[in-house]
């Protein structure tokens, strides 16, 4: 399997979740071994994708520096993970990615429009050599060695609509599009009202999130999946794992994980070379992984 970029530049304009302002997003091809690079066009600021670029994880995954930042990148990165994109320039003209419909499906459609270009250099992935885990009380995130990429996410909310949910997902691009990509982010009215009083979440609407009051879902169309909340957590986790800059061949498990725990996990993983190795896909013991991206 070879490294991937896109065949041609594509762009789209969408609303930013926090400022509620239009954001232009443009994707441009990059050559082999260039990696995923974000660029703030309004600041002429280059931000390479890496755990060292992460500066905030409280409400979303945010990368940048004191010179500027880009927020809410995880839904977009989830689509890059699913399509096996290794090299890409991601240009935005503001401090956040457009939220689109609150899921990853719009970014999948954008990648479909751009097309996938294979480069004449082998694709490398992170293969786990030993289990890596981060805990916070009863909450945890964990990566374990595996011949397949799987995600197992459990959540528990004291809310009549959510309660306890679980999503067990075996990765492939096709499965992602069918089972995960359309799962939307969600928020509670009381939290949104507070955030908006702080000039945040100004772009949040029922067109880009699942809204909940204390008792019910506010979206008239209802849910897209019975366990859409857990599916979205898998979507987030895939995007947060892509912060490493590579697809990760491992078993991911979590109970009540968060962007912060995921960030700690990728940082801990990459901090010790005993945890992992970078392996060309054709050198993997399991030949099935490459087929996941077909």
Provide the token pair at 3.
């490294």
- Rounded CA separation 125/119 (Å): 15
Can you say whether the dihedral through the CA atoms of 54, 86, 176, 17 is positive or negative?
A: positive
Which residue, 135, 226, 240, 134, is CA-closest to 183? 226
Tell me if 45 sits within 8 A of 53, measured CB to CB. Answer: no
- Rounded CA separation 65/40 (Å): 12
Residues 6+ apart with CB under 8 A from 85: 4, 5, 6, 36, 111, 116
In this structure, the number of other CB atoms found within 10 A of the CB of residue 132 comes to: 24
- Rounded CA separation 127/124 (Å): 9
- Rounded CA separation 29/7 (Å): 7
Element (H, E) at 92: strand 88-92
- Per annotation, catalytic residue among 18, 75, 232, 259: 259
Whether 259 is catalytic is: yes
- Helix segments in 45-138, DSSP class H: 74-83, 105-114
Residues noted as catalytic: 259
């Amino acid at each position: 399997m070879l490294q991937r970029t896109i065949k041609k530049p594509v762009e789209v304009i969408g609303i930013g979740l926090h400022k509620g302002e239009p954001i232009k997003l443009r994707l441009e091809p990059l050559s082999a071994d260039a990696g995923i690079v974000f660029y703030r066009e309004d600041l002429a600021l280059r931000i390479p994708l890496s755990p060292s670029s992460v500066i905030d994880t409280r409400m979303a995954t945010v990368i940048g520096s004191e010179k500027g930042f880009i927020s809410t990148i995880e839904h977009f990165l989830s689509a890059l993970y699913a399509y096996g994109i290794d090299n890409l320039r991601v240009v935005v003209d503001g401090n956040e990615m457009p939220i689109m419909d609150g899921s990853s499906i719009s970014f999948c459609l954008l990648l479909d429009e751009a097309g996938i270009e294979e480069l004449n250099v082998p694709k490398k992935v992170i293969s786990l050599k030993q289990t890596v885990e981060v805990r916070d009380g009863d909450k945890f995130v964990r990566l374990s060695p595996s011949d397949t990429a799987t995600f197992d996410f459990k959540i528990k909310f004291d809310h009549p609509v959510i309660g306890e949910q679980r999503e067990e997902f075996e990765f492939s691009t096709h499965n992602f599009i069918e089972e995960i990509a359309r799962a939307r982010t969600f928020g509670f009215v009381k939290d949104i009202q507070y955030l908006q009083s702080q000039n945040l979440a100004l772009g949040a609407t029922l067109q880009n999130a699942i809204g909940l009051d204390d008792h019910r879902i506010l979206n008239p169309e209802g849910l897209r999946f019975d366990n859409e909340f857990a599916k979205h957590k898998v979507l987030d986790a895939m995007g947060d794992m892509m912060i490493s800059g590579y697809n990760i061949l491992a078993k991911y498990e979590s109970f009540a994980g968060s962007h912060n725990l995921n960030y700690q996990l990728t940082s801990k993983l990459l901090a010790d070379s005993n945890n992992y190795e970078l392996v060309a896909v054709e050198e993997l013991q399991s030949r099935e992984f490459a087929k996941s991206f077909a």
